[in-house]
């Protein structure tokens, strides 16, 4: 398997003119033909912005993205208020960014200031009268399902598809890393992580996947489980044997048992190996994710032991 994903690469630009029917710049001279007349047939969103406006630089790409995802159900017109001050005064634009939605030749909804993507998407959905599904979210959902079904190869391709569109998508970056680990490409995964910058490594899904990688690098595998279980049962007071059992259980994806093995060590000797069992248990939680049932139950069990 060759690594073709660069976490620091730039996204490919859209073909010139590809959005000309959906997204355009306008002004006072063409406002009637670009906004009022088309709004008689369908909704038109107007983005009032200015070159000096910082929040505009964040909001406008989000609006453009959701306009494309709407699949032609809405058009977007962008107006630079510095070049169209008379129009801005007529429409009482007091600050930027300001966004209006026009239907039937008049504004019917709007908002001011930068908004998170979820709020912008909800605004567009009100305008078009239905959901606007992000293709990125659809791909991520399919990738998650494939990985959960132990189809890491399919998941890898789906996560890679996301990264071709959004190279810094932290969920996809973490997903690709998990796929590599699941496919046994541990050295490859380490190289992928080493190519990331520090900011990327600290992103939640990526950091969690790195924890899974570090556990895979520990050298334990599901093949070690029978021997580790026999060793722990032969000498219940051997905490290292209990620790090795927990690591083998993790490798075999026996999550609840892995938690209990580490909890047993903490209950027996909280400070064993410089608090090694608790530290490893936290790595389990990071690797599984905070909402995984084993993580939720494990954190509850850990709290009970620590604060009893």
Identify whether the C-beta of residue 75 lies closer than 8 Å to the C-beta of residue 43: yes
Please list, residue by residue across 199-226, b when 16 or more beta carbons sit within 10 angstroms of its beta carbon and e when fewer do. ebeebebbebbbbbbbbbeeebeeebbe
Whether 56 is a known active-site residue: answer yes
The question of whether 53 is a catalytic residue gets the answer yes
- Give the H or E element holding residue 245: helix 239-251
What DSSP assignment string belongs to 283-303?
HHHHHH-TTSHHHHHHHHHHH
Instruction: Locate the DSSP E strands across 219-266.
Output: none
**H-run or E-run covering 2:** none
Distance in angstroms (rounded) separating the CA atoms of residues 226 and 219: 15
Q: Residues 44, 45, 46, 56: which is the catalytic one?
A: 56
Name which of 152, 174, 153, 173 is nearest 164 in CA terms. Answer: 173
Please pick, among 53, 77, 162, 252, the residue that the annotation labels catalytic: 53
Q: Is the bond preceding residue 255 a cis peptide, omega within 30 degrees?
A: no
> What pairing do the DSSP bridges indicate for beta strands 44-49 and 75-80?
parallel
Catalytic residues: 53, 56
């Amino acid at each position: 398997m060759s690594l073709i994903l660069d976490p620091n690469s730039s996204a490919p630009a859209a073909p010139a003119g590809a959005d000309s029917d959906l997204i355009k710049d306008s002004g006072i001279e063409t406002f009637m033909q670009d906004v009022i007349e088309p709004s008689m047939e369908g909704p038109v969103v107007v983005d009032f912005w200015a070159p000096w406006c910082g929040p505009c630089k964040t909001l406008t790409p989000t609006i453009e993205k959701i306009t494309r995802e709407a699949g032609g159900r809405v058009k977007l017109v962008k107006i630079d208020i510095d070049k169209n001050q008379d129009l801005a005064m007529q429409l009482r634009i007091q600050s930027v960014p300001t966004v209006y939605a026009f239907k039937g030749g008049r504004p019917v909804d709007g908002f001011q200031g930068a908004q998170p993507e979820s709020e912008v998407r909800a605004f567009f959905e009100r305008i078009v009268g239905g959901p606007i599904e992000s293709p990125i979210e659809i791909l991520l959902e399919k990738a998650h399902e494939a990985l959960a079904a132990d189809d890491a190869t399919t998941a890898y391709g789906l996560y890679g598809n996301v990264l071709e569109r959004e190279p810094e998508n932290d969920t996809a970056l973490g997903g690709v890393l998990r796929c590599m680990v699941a496919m046994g490409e541990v050295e490859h995964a380490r190289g992928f992580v080493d190519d990331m910058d520090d900011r990327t490594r600290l992103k939640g899904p990526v950091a969690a996947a790195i924890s899974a990688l570090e556990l895979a690098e520990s050298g334990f595998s599901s093949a070690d489980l029978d021997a580790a279980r026999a060793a722990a049962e032969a000498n219940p007071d051997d905490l290292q044997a209990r620790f090795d059992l927990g690591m083998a259980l993790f490798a075999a994806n026996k999550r609840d048992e892995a938690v209990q093995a580490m909890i047993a060590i903490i209950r027996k000797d909280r400070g064993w190996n410089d608090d090694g069992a608790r530290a490893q248990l936290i790595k389990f939680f990071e690797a599984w994710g905070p909402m995984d049932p084993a993580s939720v139950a494990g954190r509850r069990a850990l709290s009970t032991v620590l604060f009893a």
